[in-house]
Amino acid sequence: MRTMRILLALPGLAALGFGAWLFVGYAAPAWPDSLKTLVWLAGAPVVNDAVLAPVAGLAGLLLARLVPVPWRAPVQAGAVITAVLTFLAFPLLWRPFGAPPSPGLHDDDPGTGLLVTLAVVWGLVAITGTVRAVLAHRNVRSKGRSRQT
Amino acid sequence: MKLPQPPREEHFRGGAHGERATARVGMLLGIAFTICFVTGLLSHLIQHPPGWFWWPSNPVWLYRVTQGAHVISGIAAIPLLLAKLWSVYPKLFGRPLVRSVPHAVERLSILVLSASAFFELSTGLLNVAQNYPWNFYFPTVHYAVAWVAIGSILVHIAVKLPVVRHAFSREDEPEPPARGLSRRGFLRTTWLATGAAVVATAGATVAPLREVSALSWRTNKGTQGLPVNRTAAAAGVVRTAADPMWQLTVVTPAGTRRFAPADLRALPQTTAELPIACVEGWSQNAVWRGISFPDLLRAAGSEPGVDVRVSSLERVGAYAVTTLPGEHTADPRTLLALELNGEVLDLDHGYPCRVIAPNRPGVLQTKWVERLEIR
Q: Which pLDDT does position B248 carry in this prediction? A: 93
Q: What is the pLDDT averaged over residues B86-114?
A: 88
SS3 state at B284:
strand
Query: Chain A contacts of B11, Cβ < 8 Å?
Result: none
pLDDT of res. A96:
61
Above 70 in pLDDT, residue A97?
no
The amino acid sitting at B281 is G
Q: What is the mean pLDDT of residues B105-127?
A: 93
Contact A73, B185 (CB under 8 A): yes
Nearest residue to B279 via CA among B205, B212, B215, B373: B205
Quote the pTM value: 0.92
Residue A116 to residue B150, Cβ atoms within 8 A: no
So what's the pLDDT on residue B101? 86
Cβ atoms of residues B166 and B18 within 8 Å = no
Cβ count within 10 A of residue B48: 10
pLDDT of B179 reads 64
The whole-chain average pLDDT of chain B stands at 91
The reported pLDDT for the residue numbered B178 is 65
Query: How confident is the model over A43-57, as pLDDT tens digits?
Result: 999 999 999 999 999
What would the pLDDT profile of B26-53 be if each residue is shown by its tens digit? 999 999 999 999 999 999 999 999 989 9
Rounded average pLDDT over B199-214: 88
- Residue B2: predicted pLDDT: 65
A147, pLDDT greater than 60: no
B191 or B171, higher pLDDT: B191
Provide mean pLDDT across the span B80-93. Answer: 93
Whether the predicted pLDDT of B86 surpasses 90: yes
Residues of A whose CB is below 8 A from B147: 15-16, 18-19, 22
Contacts of B155 in chain A (CB under 8 A): 8-9, 12-13, 16
| Residue A142: per-residue pLDDT | 79
Q: Report yes or no: B145 at the A interface, CB cutoff 8 Å.
A: yes
Candidates B122, B133, B228; nearest CB to A104:
B228
A48, A104, A117: residue with CB nearest B223 = A104
Rounded Cα distance, B66 and B281, in Å = 9
Determine whether the interchain pair A98/B111 forms a contact, defined as Cβ–Cβ distance below 8 Å. no
What proportion of chain B, given as a percentage, has pLDDT over 70? 98
pLDDT (tens digit per residue) in B149-169 = 999 999 999 999 999 999 988
Cα separation, B156 vs B184, whole angstroms? 25
Inter-CA distances, B265 with A113, B244, B359, Å: 43, 15, 25
Q: Do B119 and A114 touch (CB under 8 A)?
A: no
Question: Cβ B227–A102 below 8 Å, yes or no?
Answer: yes
Kindly give, in sequence order, each residue whose CB lies less than 8 Å from that of residue B126, ignoring residues fewer than 6 positions away.
A91, B132, B133
Across the range B209-225, mean pLDDT stands at 84
**In chain A, what residues touch B222 (CB-CB under 8 Å)?**
103-105
For every residue of B126-147, DSSP letters joined together read HHHTTB--SSS-HHHHHHHHHH
